[in-house]
Structure 1
Amino acid sequence: MDDGDRRIGVRQENNRGMAPPQKERTPFSDIDGLTAQMSEMVLAALTEMGRHPEIRRVRRTGFDALRPALGARLLDAGSGSGEVARRLAAEVGPRGEVIALDHSAAITAAAVSRHDNSNVEYVTGDVCALGLPGDCVDGVWCERVLQHVDDPDRAIAEMRRVTRPGGRICLIDTDWDSLAFDGVPRALQDTVLGYVNRHFTPPYRDMGRTLRRRLVAAGVTGLTATPVTMLFGSPDSAAVVLPMVNPRVPEDAWRTPPGLRDEWLAHVEAAGARGDFLAVLTIWVVAGSV
Protein backbone atom coordinates (compact mmCIF):
# COMPACT_ATOMS: atom_id res chain seq x y z
CA MET A 1 0.00 0.00 0.00
CA ASP A 2 1.52 3.34 -1.05
CA ASP A 3 1.22 6.53 0.98
CA GLY A 4 -1.79 7.80 -0.93
CA ASP A 5 -3.66 4.52 -0.47
CA ARG A 6 -2.87 4.56 3.24
CA ARG A 7 -4.42 7.98 3.60
CA ILE A 8 -7.72 7.12 1.97
CA GLY A 9 -8.10 3.76 3.67
CA VAL A 10 -10.17 3.22 6.79
CA ARG A 11 -8.15 2.06 9.77
CA GLN A 12 -10.14 0.38 12.55
CA GLU A 13 -9.32 1.40 16.10
CA ASN A 14 -10.73 0.68 19.54
CA ASN A 15 -14.52 1.27 19.56
CA ARG A 16 -15.31 1.21 23.28
CA GLY A 17 -17.05 3.64 25.51
CA MET A 18 -19.15 6.08 23.48
CA ALA A 19 -22.10 7.54 25.36
CA PRO A 20 -24.90 6.32 27.65
CA PRO A 21 -27.59 3.73 26.81
CA GLN A 22 -29.53 4.30 23.59
CA LYS A 23 -32.68 5.62 25.26
CA GLU A 24 -30.64 8.53 26.67
CA ARG A 25 -28.75 9.28 23.46
CA THR A 26 -29.23 11.43 20.40
CA PRO A 27 -29.03 9.89 16.91
CA PHE A 28 -25.56 11.42 16.53
CA SER A 29 -24.27 9.25 19.39
CA ASP A 30 -24.81 5.92 17.63
CA ILE A 31 -25.05 6.46 13.90
CA ASP A 32 -24.07 2.87 13.08
CA GLY A 33 -26.99 1.64 15.20
CA LEU A 34 -29.57 3.56 13.18
CA THR A 35 -31.65 2.31 10.29
CA ALA A 36 -30.25 2.99 6.83
CA GLN A 37 -32.82 5.75 6.33
CA MET A 38 -31.97 7.49 9.60
CA SER A 39 -28.22 7.06 8.97
CA GLU A 40 -28.58 8.79 5.60
CA MET A 41 -30.62 11.55 7.25
CA VAL A 42 -27.93 12.13 9.89
CA LEU A 43 -25.17 12.24 7.24
CA ALA A 44 -27.20 14.72 5.20
CA ALA A 45 -27.76 16.79 8.35
CA LEU A 46 -24.02 16.86 9.11
CA THR A 47 -23.26 17.95 5.56
CA GLU A 48 -25.91 20.66 5.59
CA MET A 49 -24.78 21.93 8.98
CA GLY A 50 -21.21 22.23 7.75
CA ARG A 51 -22.39 24.56 5.00
CA HIS A 52 -24.45 26.79 7.29
CA PRO A 53 -22.99 30.32 7.65
CA GLU A 54 -23.35 30.26 11.45
CA ILE A 55 -21.50 26.95 11.80
CA ARG A 56 -18.83 28.29 9.45
CA ARG A 57 -18.52 31.33 11.73
CA VAL A 58 -17.99 29.04 14.71
CA ARG A 59 -15.34 27.11 12.79
CA ARG A 60 -13.48 30.26 11.75
CA THR A 61 -13.22 31.13 15.44
CA GLY A 62 -11.89 27.61 16.06
CA PHE A 63 -9.27 27.79 13.31
CA ASP A 64 -8.01 31.07 14.76
CA ALA A 65 -7.78 29.46 18.20
CA LEU A 66 -6.06 26.24 17.06
CA ARG A 67 -3.53 28.09 14.89
CA PRO A 68 -2.57 25.15 12.62
CA ALA A 69 0.97 25.53 11.30
CA LEU A 70 2.56 24.37 8.07
CA GLY A 71 3.95 20.87 8.43
CA ALA A 72 1.94 20.07 11.57
CA ARG A 73 0.34 16.71 12.29
CA LEU A 74 -3.19 17.20 13.60
CA LEU A 75 -5.99 15.02 14.96
CA ASP A 76 -9.63 15.75 14.21
CA ALA A 77 -11.31 13.83 17.03
CA GLY A 78 -14.86 13.14 15.91
CA SER A 79 -14.33 14.13 12.30
CA GLY A 80 -17.74 13.30 10.81
CA SER A 81 -17.71 13.37 7.03
CA GLY A 82 -14.26 14.94 7.04
CA GLU A 83 -14.85 18.47 5.79
CA VAL A 84 -12.95 20.07 8.68
CA ALA A 85 -10.13 17.52 8.43
CA ARG A 86 -9.68 18.37 4.76
CA ARG A 87 -9.70 22.09 5.57
CA LEU A 88 -7.07 21.51 8.25
CA ALA A 89 -5.00 19.51 5.74
CA ALA A 90 -4.98 22.56 3.48
CA GLU A 91 -3.76 24.65 6.42
CA VAL A 92 -0.83 22.33 7.30
CA GLY A 93 0.21 21.89 3.68
CA PRO A 94 1.76 18.93 1.84
CA ARG A 95 4.31 18.27 4.58
CA GLY A 96 1.62 18.09 7.24
CA GLU A 97 -0.98 15.43 7.98
CA VAL A 98 -4.42 15.15 9.54
CA ILE A 99 -5.82 12.06 11.25
CA ALA A 100 -9.61 12.13 10.88
CA LEU A 101 -11.07 9.87 13.58
CA ASP A 102 -14.75 9.11 13.99
CA HIS A 103 -16.69 6.53 16.00
CA SER A 104 -19.02 5.69 13.13
CA ALA A 105 -17.84 3.30 10.42
CA ALA A 106 -20.66 4.51 8.14
CA ILE A 107 -19.70 8.16 8.49
CA THR A 108 -16.02 7.33 8.06
CA ALA A 109 -16.84 5.48 4.84
CA ALA A 110 -18.74 8.55 3.66
CA ALA A 111 -15.70 10.69 4.49
CA VAL A 112 -13.47 8.39 2.44
CA SER A 113 -15.87 8.68 -0.50
CA ARG A 114 -15.40 12.47 -0.39
CA HIS A 115 -11.62 12.37 -0.15
CA ASP A 116 -9.87 15.10 -2.16
CA ASN A 117 -6.30 13.72 -2.24
CA SER A 118 -5.25 15.88 0.70
CA ASN A 119 -3.05 14.48 3.46
CA VAL A 120 -5.86 12.97 5.52
CA GLU A 121 -5.91 9.51 7.06
CA TYR A 122 -9.41 8.29 7.98
CA VAL A 123 -9.73 6.20 11.13
CA THR A 124 -12.62 4.65 13.04
CA GLY A 125 -12.08 4.77 16.77
CA ASP A 126 -13.10 6.08 20.17
CA VAL A 127 -12.15 9.52 21.46
CA CYS A 128 -12.16 8.06 24.97
CA ALA A 129 -9.54 5.43 24.06
CA LEU A 130 -7.42 6.75 21.21
CA GLY A 131 -5.34 4.07 19.52
CA LEU A 132 -2.44 6.49 19.10
CA PRO A 133 0.94 6.77 20.85
CA GLY A 134 1.62 9.62 23.23
CA ASP A 135 3.02 12.93 22.01
CA CYS A 136 2.27 12.09 18.37
CA VAL A 137 0.31 15.13 17.15
CA ASP A 138 0.86 18.87 17.21
CA GLY A 139 -2.76 19.74 17.74
CA VAL A 140 -6.28 18.41 18.28
CA TRP A 141 -9.59 19.67 16.95
CA CYS A 142 -12.76 18.32 18.60
CA GLU A 143 -16.05 19.86 17.50
CA ARG A 144 -19.46 19.11 19.05
CA VAL A 145 -18.39 15.64 20.15
CA LEU A 146 -17.89 15.73 23.91
CA GLN A 147 -21.59 16.42 24.55
CA HIS A 148 -22.26 12.90 23.26
CA VAL A 149 -19.63 10.79 25.07
CA ASP A 150 -20.14 9.15 28.45
CA ASP A 151 -16.80 10.34 29.90
CA PRO A 152 -15.73 13.66 28.37
CA ASP A 153 -12.90 14.17 30.85
CA ARG A 154 -11.39 10.84 29.84
CA ALA A 155 -11.61 11.94 26.21
CA ILE A 156 -9.86 15.23 27.03
CA ALA A 157 -7.15 13.32 28.92
CA GLU A 158 -6.63 11.18 25.81
CA MET A 159 -6.34 14.27 23.61
CA ARG A 160 -3.80 15.73 25.99
CA ARG A 161 -1.85 12.45 26.08
CA VAL A 162 -1.41 12.31 22.30
CA THR A 163 -0.51 16.02 21.97
CA ARG A 164 3.16 16.96 22.04
CA PRO A 165 4.37 19.57 24.55
CA GLY A 166 3.62 22.97 23.11
CA GLY A 167 0.82 21.58 20.97
CA ARG A 168 -2.67 23.05 20.87
CA ILE A 169 -6.05 21.59 21.77
CA CYS A 170 -9.22 23.25 20.48
CA LEU A 171 -12.58 22.10 21.83
CA ILE A 172 -15.86 23.32 20.40
CA ASP A 173 -19.19 22.44 21.95
CA THR A 174 -22.75 23.53 22.52
CA ASP A 175 -24.45 25.08 25.54
CA TRP A 176 -27.95 23.72 24.89
CA ASP A 177 -29.30 25.56 27.92
CA SER A 178 -28.72 28.79 25.99
CA LEU A 179 -31.26 27.78 23.33
CA ALA A 180 -34.09 30.33 23.11
CA PHE A 181 -36.83 31.31 20.68
CA ASP A 182 -38.89 34.38 19.98
CA GLY A 183 -42.04 34.73 17.90
CA VAL A 184 -43.64 31.58 19.35
CA PRO A 185 -45.75 31.34 22.56
CA ARG A 186 -43.47 31.05 25.58
CA ALA A 187 -45.62 28.48 27.36
CA LEU A 188 -45.69 26.26 24.27
CA GLN A 189 -41.93 26.66 23.83
CA ASP A 190 -41.30 25.56 27.42
CA THR A 191 -43.61 22.55 27.05
CA VAL A 192 -42.10 21.40 23.76
CA LEU A 193 -38.51 21.80 24.91
CA GLY A 194 -39.30 19.88 28.05
CA TYR A 195 -40.10 16.87 25.87
CA VAL A 196 -37.67 17.16 22.99
CA ASN A 197 -34.66 17.95 25.17
CA ARG A 198 -34.84 14.37 26.39
CA HIS A 199 -34.12 13.07 22.89
CA PHE A 200 -32.84 15.78 20.56
CA THR A 201 -30.25 17.21 22.94
CA PRO A 202 -27.53 15.12 24.64
CA PRO A 203 -27.10 14.38 28.34
CA TYR A 204 -24.30 16.96 28.68
CA ARG A 205 -26.48 19.93 27.79
CA ASP A 206 -24.02 22.36 29.40
CA MET A 207 -20.89 20.95 27.75
CA GLY A 208 -19.93 24.16 25.96
CA ARG A 209 -19.63 26.32 29.04
CA THR A 210 -17.79 23.58 31.00
CA LEU A 211 -14.97 23.16 28.46
CA ARG A 212 -12.68 25.74 30.05
CA ARG A 213 -13.02 24.17 33.48
CA ARG A 214 -12.33 20.72 32.07
CA LEU A 215 -9.20 21.88 30.25
CA VAL A 216 -7.96 23.63 33.40
CA ALA A 217 -8.36 20.34 35.28
CA ALA A 218 -6.46 18.54 32.51
CA GLY A 219 -3.50 20.88 32.91
CA VAL A 220 -3.90 22.71 29.61
CA THR A 221 -2.64 26.29 29.87
CA GLY A 222 -2.91 29.64 28.10
CA LEU A 223 -6.62 29.13 27.62
CA THR A 224 -8.94 31.27 25.56
CA ALA A 225 -12.71 30.80 25.80
CA THR A 226 -14.95 32.39 23.20
CA PRO A 227 -18.76 32.15 23.19
CA VAL A 228 -20.19 32.32 19.68
CA THR A 229 -23.93 32.98 19.70
CA MET A 230 -25.57 31.74 16.52
CA LEU A 231 -28.62 33.61 15.30
CA PHE A 232 -31.29 32.07 13.08
CA GLY A 233 -33.76 34.54 11.62
CA SER A 234 -35.99 32.06 9.83
CA PRO A 235 -37.33 28.55 10.50
CA ASP A 236 -35.54 27.22 7.40
CA SER A 237 -32.19 28.51 8.64
CA ALA A 238 -32.78 27.20 12.17
CA ALA A 239 -33.91 23.77 10.97
CA VAL A 240 -30.44 23.04 9.60
CA VAL A 241 -28.98 23.06 13.12
CA LEU A 242 -32.00 22.66 15.43
CA PRO A 243 -33.95 19.41 14.95
CA MET A 244 -36.86 20.63 17.07
CA VAL A 245 -37.87 23.09 14.35
CA ASN A 246 -37.21 20.76 11.44
CA PRO A 247 -40.45 19.30 10.01
CA ARG A 248 -38.43 16.65 8.14
CA VAL A 249 -37.52 14.93 11.40
CA PRO A 250 -39.85 11.88 11.63
CA GLU A 251 -42.81 12.25 13.95
CA ASP A 252 -41.88 9.15 15.98
CA ALA A 253 -38.57 10.77 16.88
CA TRP A 254 -40.24 13.58 18.81
CA ARG A 255 -41.72 11.46 21.61
CA THR A 256 -44.26 14.16 22.43
CA PRO A 257 -47.98 13.82 23.22
CA PRO A 258 -50.28 13.61 20.18
CA GLY A 259 -50.73 16.92 18.44
CA LEU A 260 -48.01 18.82 20.31
CA ARG A 261 -45.42 18.54 17.52
CA ASP A 262 -47.88 19.77 14.89
CA GLU A 263 -49.04 22.67 17.08
CA TRP A 264 -45.44 23.73 17.71
CA LEU A 265 -44.40 23.52 14.06
CA ALA A 266 -47.51 25.45 13.02
CA HIS A 267 -46.51 28.31 15.34
CA VAL A 268 -42.92 28.16 14.06
CA GLU A 269 -44.16 28.35 10.46
CA ALA A 270 -46.49 31.23 11.30
CA ALA A 271 -43.67 33.16 12.96
CA GLY A 272 -41.57 32.62 9.87
CA ALA A 273 -44.36 33.92 7.63
CA ARG A 274 -44.72 37.03 9.81
CA GLY A 275 -40.97 37.57 9.78
CA ASP A 276 -40.62 37.66 13.56
CA PHE A 277 -39.16 34.18 14.16
CA LEU A 278 -35.87 34.10 16.04
CA ALA A 279 -33.73 31.33 17.51
CA VAL A 280 -30.39 31.72 19.28
CA LEU A 281 -27.88 29.12 20.50
CA THR A 282 -24.38 29.59 21.93
CA ILE A 283 -21.44 27.39 21.02
CA TRP A 284 -18.16 27.75 22.96
CA VAL A 285 -14.69 27.63 21.40
CA VAL A 286 -12.01 26.90 24.02
CA ALA A 287 -8.34 26.35 23.21
CA GLY A 288 -5.01 26.13 24.99
CA SER A 289 -1.53 24.64 24.96
CA VAL A 290 -0.11 21.43 26.40
Structure 2
Amino acid sequence: MEPAQKERTPFADIDGLTAQMSEIVLDALTEMGRHSEIRRVRRVAFDKLRPAAGQCLLDAGSGAGDVARLLATEIGPRGEVIALDHSASVTAAAVRRHDGSNVRYVTGDICRMDLPGDCVDGVWCERVLQHVDDADRAIAELIRVTRPGGRICLVDTDWASLAFDGMPAGLGEVVMAHARGHLTPRRFDMGRTLRRRLVAAGLSGVSATPVTCFFADPESAAVVLPMVNPRVPEETWGTPPGVRDEWLACVEAAGASGTFLAVLTIWVVAGTVTTG
Protein backbone atom coordinates (compact mmCIF):
# COMPACT_ATOMS: atom_id res chain seq x y z
CA MET A 1 0.00 0.00 0.00
CA GLU A 2 1.09 3.57 -0.59
CA PRO A 3 1.78 6.70 1.49
CA ALA A 4 0.07 10.10 1.37
CA GLN A 5 -3.29 8.54 2.06
CA LYS A 6 -6.53 10.41 2.04
CA GLU A 7 -7.56 8.46 5.11
CA ARG A 8 -5.61 6.13 7.35
CA THR A 9 -7.52 2.90 6.98
CA PRO A 10 -5.64 -0.15 8.34
CA PHE A 11 -4.61 -1.15 4.81
CA ALA A 12 -3.20 2.30 4.10
CA ASP A 13 -0.41 2.35 6.69
CA ILE A 14 0.43 -1.22 7.68
CA ASP A 15 3.87 -0.29 9.03
CA GLY A 16 2.22 2.11 11.47
CA LEU A 17 0.01 -0.56 13.03
CA THR A 18 0.59 -2.56 16.18
CA ALA A 19 2.11 -6.00 15.65
CA GLN A 20 -1.25 -7.65 16.35
CA MET A 21 -3.17 -5.41 13.94
CA SER A 22 -0.47 -5.76 11.29
CA GLU A 23 -0.84 -9.54 11.46
CA ILE A 24 -4.61 -9.22 11.09
CA VAL A 25 -4.22 -7.06 7.98
CA LEU A 26 -1.64 -9.39 6.43
CA ASP A 27 -3.92 -12.37 7.04
CA ALA A 28 -6.80 -10.42 5.50
CA LEU A 29 -4.77 -9.68 2.36
CA THR A 30 -3.91 -13.34 1.98
CA GLU A 31 -7.49 -14.47 2.55
CA MET A 32 -8.83 -11.93 0.06
CA GLY A 33 -6.44 -13.17 -2.60
CA ARG A 34 -7.84 -16.68 -2.20
CA HIS A 35 -11.49 -15.61 -2.42
CA SER A 36 -13.27 -16.88 -5.52
CA GLU A 37 -14.68 -13.45 -6.40
CA ILE A 38 -11.30 -11.71 -6.16
CA ARG A 39 -9.79 -14.51 -8.24
CA ARG A 40 -12.51 -13.91 -10.83
CA VAL A 41 -11.59 -10.21 -10.95
CA ARG A 42 -7.94 -11.13 -11.38
CA ARG A 43 -8.68 -13.49 -14.27
CA VAL A 44 -10.30 -10.59 -16.12
CA ALA A 45 -7.28 -8.41 -15.34
CA PHE A 46 -4.79 -11.04 -16.54
CA ASP A 47 -6.61 -11.15 -19.87
CA LYS A 48 -6.38 -7.35 -20.15
CA LEU A 49 -2.70 -7.09 -19.17
CA ARG A 50 -1.67 -9.84 -21.63
CA PRO A 51 1.57 -10.95 -19.92
CA ALA A 52 3.96 -12.66 -22.34
CA ALA A 53 7.12 -14.72 -22.09
CA GLY A 54 10.29 -12.74 -21.50
CA GLN A 55 8.61 -9.53 -20.37
CA CYS A 56 9.60 -7.37 -17.41
CA LEU A 57 6.48 -6.49 -15.44
CA LEU A 58 5.82 -4.24 -12.45
CA ASP A 59 3.32 -5.14 -9.74
CA ALA A 60 2.78 -1.73 -8.14
CA GLY A 61 1.41 -2.15 -4.62
CA SER A 62 2.20 -5.85 -4.62
CA GLY A 63 1.25 -6.76 -1.06
CA ALA A 64 2.45 -10.22 -0.08
CA GLY A 65 3.42 -10.95 -3.69
CA ASP A 66 0.69 -13.44 -4.66
CA VAL A 67 -0.07 -11.77 -8.01
CA ALA A 68 3.60 -11.09 -8.72
CA ARG A 69 4.35 -14.80 -8.40
CA LEU A 70 1.42 -15.66 -10.69
CA LEU A 71 2.70 -13.16 -13.25
CA ALA A 72 6.12 -14.80 -13.02
CA THR A 73 4.64 -18.09 -14.22
CA GLU A 74 3.32 -16.27 -17.31
CA ILE A 75 6.54 -14.53 -18.32
CA GLY A 76 8.81 -17.51 -17.77
CA PRO A 77 12.46 -17.74 -16.76
CA ARG A 78 13.66 -15.07 -19.21
CA GLY A 79 11.38 -12.42 -17.72
CA GLU A 80 11.20 -10.61 -14.39
CA VAL A 81 8.52 -9.24 -12.11
CA ILE A 82 9.29 -6.25 -9.91
CA ALA A 83 7.03 -6.46 -6.86
CA LEU A 84 6.91 -2.99 -5.31
CA ASP A 85 5.12 -2.10 -2.09
CA HIS A 86 5.42 0.85 0.26
CA SER A 87 5.18 -1.30 3.40
CA ALA A 88 8.45 -2.78 4.66
CA SER A 89 6.62 -5.34 6.79
CA VAL A 90 4.46 -6.49 3.87
CA THR A 91 7.52 -6.71 1.62
CA ALA A 92 9.27 -8.81 4.27
CA ALA A 93 6.23 -11.10 4.37
CA ALA A 94 6.38 -11.40 0.57
CA VAL A 95 10.06 -12.35 0.71
CA ARG A 96 9.27 -15.04 3.31
CA ARG A 97 6.69 -16.49 0.93
CA HIS A 98 8.94 -16.41 -2.13
CA ASP A 99 8.71 -19.56 -4.21
CA GLY A 100 11.95 -19.25 -6.14
CA SER A 101 10.35 -17.62 -9.18
CA ASN A 102 11.85 -14.62 -10.95
CA VAL A 103 10.31 -11.96 -8.69
CA ARG A 104 12.31 -9.08 -7.25
CA TYR A 105 10.77 -7.54 -4.12
CA VAL A 106 11.39 -3.85 -3.40
CA THR A 107 9.93 -1.14 -1.20
CA GLY A 108 8.97 2.17 -2.74
CA ASP A 109 6.40 4.89 -3.26
CA ILE A 110 4.14 4.45 -6.29
CA CYS A 111 4.07 8.24 -6.71
CA ARG A 112 7.89 8.53 -6.71
CA MET A 113 9.36 5.23 -7.84
CA ASP A 114 13.12 4.71 -7.84
CA LEU A 115 12.96 3.07 -11.26
CA PRO A 116 14.30 4.34 -14.61
CA GLY A 117 11.96 5.38 -17.37
CA ASP A 118 10.83 2.86 -19.99
CA CYS A 119 12.09 -0.07 -17.91
CA VAL A 120 9.04 -2.40 -17.87
CA ASP A 121 6.77 -3.91 -20.48
CA GLY A 122 3.62 -3.79 -18.39
CA VAL A 123 2.14 -2.74 -15.06
CA TRP A 124 -0.35 -4.38 -12.72
CA CYS A 125 -1.80 -2.11 -10.02
CA GLU A 126 -4.58 -3.66 -7.94
CA ARG A 127 -6.66 -1.83 -5.32
CA VAL A 128 -3.94 0.70 -4.59
CA LEU A 129 -5.07 3.99 -6.12
CA GLN A 130 -8.09 4.22 -3.81
CA HIS A 131 -5.55 4.81 -1.02
CA VAL A 132 -3.39 7.57 -2.51
CA ASP A 133 -3.92 11.33 -2.43
CA ASP A 134 -3.02 11.93 -6.06
CA ALA A 135 -4.06 9.02 -8.28
CA ASP A 136 -3.15 10.91 -11.46
CA ARG A 137 0.40 11.45 -10.25
CA ALA A 138 0.68 7.74 -9.49
CA ILE A 139 -0.64 6.88 -12.95
CA ALA A 140 1.87 9.27 -14.52
CA GLU A 141 4.64 7.38 -12.71
CA LEU A 142 3.32 4.05 -13.95
CA ILE A 143 3.34 5.43 -17.50
CA ARG A 144 6.86 6.87 -17.06
CA VAL A 145 8.38 3.50 -16.23
CA THR A 146 6.50 1.66 -19.01
CA ARG A 147 7.99 1.28 -22.47
CA PRO A 148 5.98 2.56 -25.45
CA GLY A 149 3.60 -0.17 -26.51
CA GLY A 150 3.48 -1.57 -22.98
CA ARG A 151 0.25 -2.33 -21.17
CA ILE A 152 -1.03 -0.78 -17.93
CA CYS A 153 -3.78 -2.62 -16.05
CA LEU A 154 -5.48 -0.93 -13.12
CA VAL A 155 -7.87 -2.75 -10.80
CA ASP A 156 -9.80 -0.78 -8.21
CA THR A 157 -12.97 -0.74 -6.16
CA ASP A 158 -16.08 1.37 -6.57
CA TRP A 159 -17.14 1.38 -2.92
CA ALA A 160 -20.13 3.56 -3.81
CA SER A 161 -21.55 0.52 -5.61
CA LEU A 162 -21.67 -1.55 -2.42
CA ALA A 163 -25.22 -2.68 -1.66
CA PHE A 164 -26.82 -5.05 0.82
CA ASP A 165 -30.12 -6.84 1.12
CA GLY A 166 -31.63 -8.73 4.02
CA MET A 167 -30.77 -6.15 6.72
CA PRO A 168 -32.57 -2.94 7.77
CA ALA A 169 -31.79 -0.29 5.15
CA GLY A 170 -31.68 2.59 7.61
CA LEU A 171 -29.16 0.85 9.84
CA GLY A 172 -27.01 0.02 6.83
CA GLU A 173 -27.00 3.67 5.79
CA VAL A 174 -25.73 4.67 9.24
CA VAL A 175 -22.95 2.08 9.07
CA MET A 176 -21.88 3.11 5.59
CA ALA A 177 -21.95 6.80 6.45
CA HIS A 178 -19.34 6.12 9.15
CA ALA A 179 -17.41 3.50 7.18
CA ARG A 180 -15.89 6.03 4.78
CA GLY A 181 -12.39 6.82 5.99
CA HIS A 182 -12.55 4.14 8.68
CA LEU A 183 -13.43 0.76 7.19
CA THR A 184 -12.91 1.89 3.60
CA PRO A 185 -10.93 4.70 1.94
CA ARG A 186 -12.75 8.01 1.67
CA ARG A 187 -12.28 7.87 -2.10
CA PHE A 188 -15.31 5.64 -2.68
CA ASP A 189 -15.49 5.97 -6.45
CA MET A 190 -11.91 5.28 -7.59
CA GLY A 191 -12.81 2.25 -9.70
CA ARG A 192 -15.24 4.07 -11.94
CA THR A 193 -12.79 6.96 -12.52
CA LEU A 194 -9.96 4.80 -13.89
CA ARG A 195 -11.10 4.84 -17.52
CA ARG A 196 -11.30 8.65 -17.53
CA ARG A 197 -7.86 8.91 -15.96
CA LEU A 198 -6.16 6.62 -18.49
CA VAL A 199 -7.86 8.34 -21.43
CA ALA A 200 -6.75 11.74 -20.09
CA ALA A 201 -3.22 10.39 -19.64
CA GLY A 202 -3.06 9.60 -23.35
CA LEU A 203 -3.20 5.81 -23.34
CA SER A 204 -4.67 4.15 -26.41
CA GLY A 205 -7.22 1.37 -26.69
CA VAL A 206 -8.47 1.90 -23.15
CA SER A 207 -10.95 -0.76 -22.04
CA ALA A 208 -13.05 -0.75 -18.89
CA THR A 209 -14.67 -3.86 -17.45
CA PRO A 210 -16.90 -3.72 -14.37
CA VAL A 211 -16.85 -6.97 -12.39
CA THR A 212 -19.68 -7.27 -9.89
CA CYS A 213 -18.70 -9.40 -6.92
CA PHE A 214 -21.59 -11.29 -5.33
CA PHE A 215 -21.65 -12.56 -1.76
CA ALA A 216 -24.51 -14.84 -0.71
CA ASP A 217 -23.53 -15.28 2.93
CA PRO A 218 -21.82 -13.20 5.63
CA GLU A 219 -18.82 -15.53 5.91
CA SER A 220 -17.93 -15.08 2.25
CA ALA A 221 -18.61 -11.35 2.34
CA ALA A 222 -16.51 -10.82 5.47
CA VAL A 223 -13.35 -11.78 3.59
CA VAL A 224 -13.68 -8.72 1.33
CA LEU A 225 -16.08 -6.38 3.19
CA PRO A 226 -14.82 -5.21 6.60
CA MET A 227 -18.22 -3.87 7.65
CA VAL A 228 -19.62 -7.39 7.94
CA ASN A 229 -16.53 -8.89 9.57
CA PRO A 230 -16.89 -9.27 13.36
CA ARG A 231 -13.12 -9.77 13.67
CA VAL A 232 -12.47 -6.15 12.68
CA PRO A 233 -11.74 -4.34 15.97
CA GLU A 234 -14.50 -2.07 17.23
CA GLU A 235 -12.19 0.95 17.52
CA THR A 236 -11.69 1.03 13.76
CA TRP A 237 -15.39 1.32 12.89
CA GLY A 238 -16.06 4.95 13.76
CA THR A 239 -19.75 4.24 14.38
CA PRO A 240 -21.85 5.56 17.31
CA PRO A 241 -22.00 3.30 20.39
CA GLY A 242 -24.08 0.18 19.85
CA VAL A 243 -24.45 0.55 16.07
CA ARG A 244 -21.71 -1.95 15.21
CA ASP A 245 -23.17 -4.67 17.44
CA GLU A 246 -26.71 -4.07 16.21
CA TRP A 247 -25.58 -4.19 12.58
CA LEU A 248 -23.53 -7.36 13.02
CA ALA A 249 -26.47 -9.02 14.78
CA CYS A 250 -28.66 -8.21 11.76
CA VAL A 251 -25.98 -9.55 9.42
CA GLU A 252 -25.82 -12.79 11.40
CA ALA A 253 -29.62 -13.13 11.40
CA ALA A 254 -29.78 -12.56 7.64
CA GLY A 255 -27.15 -15.21 7.15
CA ALA A 256 -29.03 -17.68 9.33
CA SER A 257 -32.26 -17.08 7.40
CA GLY A 258 -30.56 -17.31 4.00
CA THR A 259 -31.64 -13.79 3.04
CA PHE A 260 -28.22 -12.09 3.19
CA LEU A 261 -26.89 -10.51 0.00
CA ALA A 262 -24.03 -8.13 -0.78
CA VAL A 263 -22.71 -6.87 -4.12
CA LEU A 264 -19.66 -4.75 -4.94
CA THR A 265 -18.26 -3.64 -8.30
CA ILE A 266 -14.52 -3.76 -8.95
CA TRP A 267 -13.29 -2.18 -12.20
CA VAL A 268 -10.58 -3.55 -14.46
CA VAL A 269 -9.24 -0.82 -16.76
CA ALA A 270 -6.34 -1.24 -19.16
CA GLY A 271 -4.65 0.58 -22.00
CA THR A 272 -1.48 0.81 -24.06
CA VAL A 273 1.25 3.39 -23.56
CA THR A 274 1.71 5.38 -26.77
CA THR A 275 5.01 6.05 -28.51
CA GLY A 276 4.80 9.81 -28.24
Q: Same fold (TM over 0.5)?
A: yes
Match of 1:123 in 2: 106
1:199 equivalent in alignment to 2:182: yes
Q: Provide, for residues 203-227 of structure 1, a one-character-per-residue CA deviation record: whole Å limited to 9, x for no partner.
A: 2210000000000111111011000
CA distance in 2 between counterparts of 1:167 and 1:48 reads 31
CA distance in 1 between counterparts of 2:207 and 2:238 reads 38
1:167 equivalent in alignment to 2:150: yes
Whether contact under 8 Å (1:101, 1:122) holds in the other structure is: yes
Match of 1:280 in 2: 263
SS at match of 2:170: helix
Please report how far the alpha carbon of residue 281 of structure 1 lies from its aligned counterpart in structure 2 after TM superposition. 0.2
1:29 equivalent in alignment to 2:12: yes
Q: 2:200 aligns with which of 198, 217, 221?
A: 217
Q: Provide, for residues 234-283 of structure 1, a one-character-per-residue CA deviation record: whole Å limited to 9, x for no partner.
A: 00000000000000011111121111111000000000000010000000
CA distance in 2 between counterparts of 1:192 and 1:16 reads 26
CA distance in 1 between counterparts of 2:133 and 2:221 reads 27
CA distance in 2 between counterparts of 1:203 and 1:188 reads 20
Identity %: 75
Q: 1:271 aligns with which of 254, 264, 271?
A: 254
Please report how far the alpha carbon of residue 103 of structure 1 lies from its aligned counterpart in structure 2 after TM superposition. 0.5
Match of 1:62 in 2: 45
Give the TM-score, by structure 1 length.
Answer: 0.93
Runs of 4+ in 1 over 2 A off after TM superposition: 15-18
Q: Provide, for residues 139-158 of structure 1, a one-character-per-residue CA deviation record: whole Å limited to 9, x for no partner.
A: 00000000001111000000
Q: 2:163 aligns with which of 180, 185, 189?
A: 180
1:105 equivalent in alignment to 2:88: yes
Whether contact under 8 Å (2:2, 2:85) holds in the other structure is: no
SS at match of 1:199: coil
Whether contact under 8 Å (1:16, 1:129) holds in the other structure is: no
SS at match of 1:133: coil
Q: 1:73 aligns with which of 51, 56, 64?
A: 56
Q: 2:213 aligns with which of 230, 238, 242?
A: 230
Partner AA of 1:147 in structure 2: Q
SS at match of 1:195: helix
CA distance in 1 between counterparts of 2:251 and 2:172 reads 10
Gaps of 5+ in 2: none
Whether contact under 8 Å (2:2, 2:13) holds in the other structure is: no
1:18 equivalent in alignment to 2:1: no
Q: Provide, for residues 161-204 of structure 1, a one-character-per-residue CA deviation record: whole Å limited to 9, x for no partner.
A: 00001000000000000000000011111111111223111122
Match of 1:133 in 2: 116
CA distance in 1 between counterparts of 2:21 and 2:44 reads 31
SS at match of 1:28: helix
Whether contact under 8 Å (1:58, 1:283) holds in the other structure is: yes
Partner AA of 1:19 in structure 2: Q
SS at match of 2:224: coil
CA distance in 1 between counterparts of 2:248 and 2:3 reads 36
Whether contact under 8 Å (1:25, 1:203) holds in the other structure is: no
CA distance in 2 between counterparts of 1:27 and 1:202 reads 10
Q: 1:158 aligns with which of 131, 141, 145?
A: 141
Match of 1:83 in 2: 66
Q: Aligned pair in 2 of structure 1 residues 103, 271: CA closer, same or farther (>3 Å)? A: same
> How many corresponding residue pairs?
273
SS at match of 1:193: helix
SS at match of 1:171: strand
Partner AA of 2:61 in structure 1: G
Whether contact under 8 Å (1:75, 1:98) holds in the other structure is: yes
CA distance in 2 between counterparts of 1:25 and 1:177 reads 18
